[in-house]
Amino acid sequence: MTPEAKRVVCIEDEPEMIDLVRLILGRKGFNVIGANGGVEGLEAVRRERPDLVLLDLMMPDMDGWEVYQQIKADSELREIPVIVVTAKAQSIDKVLGLHIAKVDDYISKPFGPQELLESVEKILGAA
For the chain, the domain total comes to 1
Q: Which of 25, 5, 3 is nearest to 83 (CA)?
A: 25
Report yes or no on 12 lying in a domain: yes
Report yes or no on 25 lying in a domain: yes
Q: Give pTM, 2 decimals.
A: 0.89
Residues spanned by the domain of 92:
7-122
Report yes or no on 103 lying in a domain: yes
Can you give the CATH number for the domain in which 54 is found? Answer: 3.40.50.2300
Report yes or no on 39 lying in a domain: yes
Residues 35-80 pLDDT 10s: 999 999 999 999 999 999 999 988 999 989 899 999 999 999 999 9
Residues 82-113 pLDDT 10s: 999 888 666 566 666 666 667 888 888 889 99
Report yes or no on 127 lying in a domain: no
User: Contact at 8 Å (CB) between 64 and 103?
Assistant: no
Report yes or no on 40 lying in a domain: yes
Q: What is the largest CA-CA distance in the chain?
A: 40
How far are the Cα atoms of 2, 4, 47, 49, 50 from residue 101, in angstroms, in the given order?
33, 30, 24, 21, 20
